[in-house]
Chains A and B, each alone.
Chain A
């Protein structure tokens, strides 16, 4: 401003020494202008082939100064986002890129892909503060924006009326929700009720109707290849799994993130969870031999392989099966790795095929959008037309458990104190998870040794204990 120039010196200054519009610090005015400049730079270049001319040194210097500020740089959306937002040449309100002038970088990521994610991002709330013209473009206030909360407080106090109204409404809202009962202090974002696909074992009648030869046939394809994902940090669990339930797999392979001197495993040399699973499944498929069923587990999972065989006994492995404890996360229904994942040969074959498609099923997920490996598996399988199905017993109880048996019993003691055992877990349960090594030894004993005399089941098939084992 003329008076300021006069104030500073007597020289005629043609170039501003200040970094930003009103001094060396970002002010509200900059918050207003900078996003627009940035957008022009990116979108106009893409669509109108227009670049801010190099002669506008002042503008460029201004922009450069802004890019040096973390709060600006970190909160600008990626160029591709801006380009997509202005794709139609018009602004769509949701995707308007906004930069926020806050001390802390604000994760104002915008959801522009159609990848399903229930924790889809929303506009940063701060962006409301800085959103564009509703025609309000007041004089740049000399308010320091380093601490924008103080600005907020100031604003609130000056708008006491609306604030109180908001607070009261918020309280009422909270009350209503809790009364509806759907409000829980421990909200789970996953709903576990809607299982569209259930899979049960064949009933005793069905089994008895099978001919001897058919039974023999089914028996021959009833081998399970166990894929256990270990890491040296889980050594005790790894050792326990090795010593207990994995002895009942027809084939058990341990895949580790890095080699360990203590135990043998196939070293994938891979830290990333999904990439490891990707490699392990590929390896398992390529070395399947005659085996037609695959079971993926973590070392703290305990699996009763005989009950798994019972579940898949009459299922055709040339059909795609993807079984386990299913959980719904937004639009995606996936099998929890914790409870063990069962894949038929066909499902694995399709999976390995889609591995070759880097778009649908990349080996390395983008750093921005990391899904847990079990969700990623579900996404990949979905592309091949394979959907998750929940394994249940004849009473509808889940066979795959993502909790330990001790904690399930505890829960049952709280919820059905008069019928603890029946209310807890299935008689033909296949997996329990988060089992400590000691709990695994006890379960080994409990399943394969502890039984009351005089109760027999005459199951249609017989599975023999593995050779050379001494704890079953």
Chain B
């Protein structure tokens, strides 16, 4: 058996050696890759800084979006029009510990659709960039941060934007839809919008997490209110305190619902609004300002029925959720799909464009712009434009919107 034994033990030794080294190498190999990855990251950072220059202009701790993100093949004339006419400054409440874990994802997703974005932190960071508000961190500092942030925005950018949005670093905002909602108002109105909650105030207040937006006039009154001591730091519950101050300085709490009376600012993530069955005793139901309409009385039991048509914001969105929402909103689409809800063109913009596009869907009585499939089940070919009635010619452009 001698030659056989020799050859055989050679094979066995070979196998054992391979396995042994594999087991030893694996952690080492991974570490090596990580180290290499770290080196890669450093050069990546540099690359990213260079690339960022093409997206934003960094000025005075704010990022000015150079370009409204576009898709190949899309007709975004309406969105561009609104981008230029309804200028929004987004400020994002964040902190030094959240820059890489939360604020970063906001930076690369929805904030790119704002005209200006400023990240407000307690500490200044020139690279990110963030503004240092000079406060401490923590829940009890929320209203202080808010006060200082709005003051900062007013002092530095009052004339560069029309509307001033406050969002958290776990809020996702579809800025184009916000513009649609604001387009029927002017920045000279003392008004602010958000997800309206009922308690503790007369006119209600706007949920902090779901984001709220002030007109320029409202911002001015807010700042003056503090100067005149009409408004003070009453409580650290930021959204409630905000609501109380707004009431005092005569700023109206606006109705942000779409034309079908459906809410647009959402205090939770889509998954919860779509699938969670909130019990009747849940605080949410008693906080909602607007009366539970017919459609949403079923919402108490089955939120799916009360589905949104126009969404402006979601809250409690994690990092992956930011990219997922960006993908769903701005990237993934169904070819040729005729959406059920055609948001009516904001009044002031109806004549801006040569032909009436899809967005000028006329409101049908009862269905409020909801189109349903006809009797025949076959899709009809549609050569592009929606055959809506031609816009009425009149001196509408200069008319003050409601």
Contacts and interface: CB of A to CB of B under 8 A. Distances in A.
Contact of A222 (B11, B73, B327, B379): B379
Contacts of A457: 73-75, 333
Contacts of B10: 159, 162-163, 165-166
Interface in B301-316: 304-305, 307-311
B340 A465 contact: yes
B202 interface: no
Contacts of A47: none
Nearest to A28: B1
B395 interface: no
Nearest to A304: B334
Interface stretch (A97-105, A279-287, A359-367, A438-446): A438-446
Nearest to B3: A134
B363 interface: no
A453 B20 contact: no
Contact of B174 (A158, A250, A447, A452): A452
Given A421-B326, A441-B304, A454-B82, A460 B384 contact: yes
A437 B333 CA distance: 20
Interface string B169-211: 0000011110110000000000000000000000000000000
A441 B9 contact: no
Given A409-B324, A421-B109, A455 B379 contact: no
Contacts of A166: 9-17
B358 interface: yes
Interface in B330-379: 330-341, 343, 357-359, 371-374, 377-379
Among A215, A409, A466, find the residue whose CB has the most chain B CB atoms closer than 10 A.
Answer: A409
B44 interface: yes
Interface residues of B, number: 98
Given A424-B327, A460-B381, A174 B21 contact: yes
A170 B18 contact: yes
Given A128-B11, A219-B381, A450 B371 contact: no
B1 A421 contact: no
Interface string A170-205: 111111001000000100000000000000000010
A409 B323 contact: yes
Contact of A463 (B48, B75, B328, B337): B337
Interface stretch (A7-15, A318-326, A336-344, A412-420): A412-420
Contacts of B271: 438-439, 441-442
A438 B269 CA distance: 12
Contacts, number: 305
Contact of B371 (A429, A464, A471): A464
A167 interface: yes
A452 B176 contact: yes
Interface stretch (A53-61, A265-273, A306-314, A380-388): A306-314
A368 to B, nearest CB: 27
Contacts of A306: 334-337
A178 B129 CA distance: 41
A409 B7 CA distance: 51
A421 B21 contact: no
B336 A463 contact: yes
A456 B334 contact: no
A4 interface: no
B224 interface: no
Contact of B336 (A128, A152, A442, A460): A460
Given A418-B48, A421-B327, A424-B327, A456 B357 contact: yes
Contact of B9 (A156, A216, A458, A472): A156
Contact of B22 (A125, A174, A445): A174
Question: Is chain A's binding surface mostly helix, strand, loop or mixed?
Answer: helix
Contacts of A410: 320
A447 B271 CA distance: 14
Given A409-B327, A429-B332, A465 B9 contact: no
Contacts of B311: 449-450
A161 B12 CA distance: 12
B228 interface: no
A165 B323 contact: no
B387 to A, nearest CB: 11
Contacts of A310: 335-336
Contacts of B275: 437-438, 441-442
A170 B25 CA distance: 13
A163 B371 contact: no
B258 to A, nearest CB: 11
Given A166-B12, A445-B270, A470-B305, A171 B337 contact: no
A463 B338 contact: yes
Nearest to A243: B304
Nearest to B319: A413
A34 interface: no
B319 A418 contact: no
B81 interface: yes
B329 interface: yes
Interface in B56-103: 71, 73-82
Taking each of B7, B51, B320, which has the highest tally of chain A beta carbons within 10 Å of its own beta carbon?
B320
A7 to B, nearest CB: 28
Contact of B13 (A170, A441, A443, A451): A170
A167 B4 contact: no
B375 to A, nearest CB: 9
Given A168-B17, A427-B333, A418 B22 contact: no
A97 B113 CA distance: 70
Contact of A465 (B80, B358, B372): B372
Nearest to B372: A467
Nearest to B335: A310
A442 B320 CA distance: 14
A144 interface: no
A195 B358 CA distance: 39
A106 to B, nearest CB: 16
A128 B6 CA distance: 12
A453 to B, nearest CB: 4
Contacts of A110: none
Nearest to B180: A453
Interface in A197-225: 204, 212, 215-216, 219-220, 222-223
B189 to A, nearest CB: 20
A428 B335 contact: yes
A92 B152 CA distance: 86
Interface string B43-61: 0100110010000000000
B354 to A, nearest CB: 14
Contact of A448 (B51, B78, B337, B381): B337
Contacts of A212: 381, 383
A229 interface: no
A455 B74 contact: yes
A472 B341 CA distance: 10
5 contacts: A159-B5, A442-B270, A445-B328, A456-B78, A461-B335
Interface of B: 1, 3-22, 25-26, 29-30, 44, 47-48, 51, 71, 73-82, 108-109, 113, 174-177, 179-180, 270-271, 274-275, 304-305, 307-311, 319-320, 323-341, 343, 357-359, 371-374, 377-385
Interface of A: 125, 128-129, 134, 136, 138, 152, 155-156, 158-175, 178, 185, 204, 212, 215-216, 219-220, 222-223, 250, 304, 306-307, 309-310, 405-406, 409-410, 412-413, 417-418, 420-422, 424-425, 427-429, 437-439, 441-443, 445-467, 470-472
6 pairs of A and B residues whose beta carbons are closest in the complex: A166-B13, A170-B17, A454-B79, A446-B328, A452-B176, A454-B78
Given A163-B10, A452-B176, A455-B78, 14 more contacts: A163-B9, A175-B25, A185-B29, A219-B379, A220-B378, A418-B48, A445-B308, A446-B270, A446-B324, A449-B309, A452-B329, A453-B78, A460-B383, A464-B380
